[in-house]
Structure 1
Amino acid sequence: MPSNFELFKKQLDEAVELIDESVLMDDTNYPAILDEALDTQSLLERCDSICLKHKPKKPVIRVIHHLACSGGTLISKCISAMPNVYLLSEVHPFTDLGIDKGKPKYAPTDLISLTKYAGIPKQKELAGRLFKQSIDNIYEHVTCLGGILVLRDHTHADFNTEQLVPAKSTLIELLEDTYEVKSILTIRNPIDSYASLLKNGWVHFEPQTLDEYCRRLLLLIEQFNSEQLFEYEEFLKAPRERMQEITNALELPFDDTFEDVFGVFKVTGDSGRSSDVISDRSRIAPEEIIRESQGSQNFRKLKKFNWLEDKCKKI
């Protein structure tokens, strides 16, 4: 059965057809008919406006991005501590990181990995559909329970591997046709994040230099506007203020008690900080990386961003 809105639209279409068939322009009634035509046009514009208001809107989904070793785990835990928020940590539809095709791991619930192990033809195309369907089902389930779903993108898989750097986040590209995506990027001084990346053995790109890391970071930053960028160092200085800004950007509820409870939330990628207290950290970058930064062209380009300028003056 058609809805009231559909019946209303049908009646408008029939009215427009009737106007088109009945209007006869001649010298006698031209001014009057012109006035009627103008009034009719005004009416149609108002009707179009009503139709646009009733056009179904895309559901909103939230995504946070950050590179590995840049403080993203801490911020993700704090987001998880917000009321009714459920965060899926380090999601990506296609990455092979952690997949050993030569020696398959026991993963009975990971259907995408199992399709890789099975060697199914056109597996990437299949993986995209499986991933999207899973996100849709989780989103609907969480929303029906009154919750809010947040996705933590595994940005490292897009920007810090041997794969070509994409023009847009793979995750966003997969979701944006169905959802209105609200996303943020958290960033850290590249000297510190690159040094930590080296320490953990997670440099998956060539050449393995700070300059190349900064080049990739520049490509990532260019995909976001200033309102979407948040600095890890600034978050450590004023966590409550910065978290308020982050939740505003993502349109999430805010609870200022998050500093007391964030430690109970468990997320993947917890490689560095183990303390449940938010505080500044001492620099671990060796002198050779600091010297390398002084000769890096891409690091100099990064220094032009306001978020890094003051920090780089101290290097």
Structure 2
Amino acid sequence: MAPAQVMTATEAPSITTLPLVAGPLVEYRPIHPTFGAEATADFSSITSELVDEIKQGLAKYGVLVFRKTGLDDARHVEMSHLFGDLDDIAPFVSGLGQKNRLTSDYLFDVGNVNPDGTVMQPGTMRDLLLRCNYHFHADSAFNPRRAGISLLLAHELPPAELGGDTEFADTRSAYEHLSEGRKEQIKDWVVMNSQLQCRRNANTDKNGALNPLLDTDEFDPMKHRFGIHRLVQLHEPSGRTNLYIAAHAHHVEGMGIEEGQKELKGLLEYVDQPKYTFRVKWRDPGDLVVWDNTCVLHRSVPGSYAGKYKRDLRRTTVHDMGPQAWGLNEVGATWRNGLD
């Protein structure tokens, strides 16, 4: 009988330790067939690597929705700085004699909370000015340097059944689906943008009558400078072409004002179709929505919470860092539309 074989410790098979492979810092679940994604990430450590991945996600999806991030004002601003140069609210606070209730001039107060902490009431001047947000727009299209990325963080929300959602529109797919003839027609259009145009339209009744509070030179777009940008642009991060159109669009350069406004209204109505839009429902404080203003539009959705419950949303705005940031405006200009 052959002797039994005994495996000694030195003969035990070796185990090779493989290096850890880092997974993605951001994961995505598409929301809409053409754009937008629910995204997950760990915001306990804010790094340039995390921000770079978010930028890559924005290039593809245009809009990213993060839930329960745990961010506060300080970390919201800290992360935003990693995206690029930030816009600030100081010119508006000083220029309009307002008070900033927030801790940083880099935070835009876009909710319905007054400086004294009370809920904004319908019909007040602040309410009239913010009604522009109910129309599809791109942040800062009316200024000499437009906005690139916006980061909107929820702090306090009304009951979900009372509304207060935010909608987005995909201007890349909208452009792609235009007929070749229409693309040729609009390819060289230059749009004159004004925040005051949106504010007036948002306060005009069904008979075309403008609220008298805004029927002054202070709110007349023609009495102020325009943010000038091309309508058809290359979206550099994705290499796709898009429409840079917003509710701030006042007229088309070189075209009769009435004719231009009719054309621009038609384009906005075209973009505002279910196949190009989706709605984000805010759920919890800490929810964060990040979007690229150069390829998507957004608007706030009215709700029955108005005048009753707080909807405290705070936005940081990253200036466009690309070659089309200044449009056809003077590079380096610091004026703000409506305060010039």
Give TM-score scaled by structure 1 length.
0.21
Structure showing the higher helix proportion among its residues: 1
TM-score (norm 2): 0.20
Q: Structure with the greater relative contact order (CA < 8 A, sep ≥ 6): 1 or 2?
A: 2
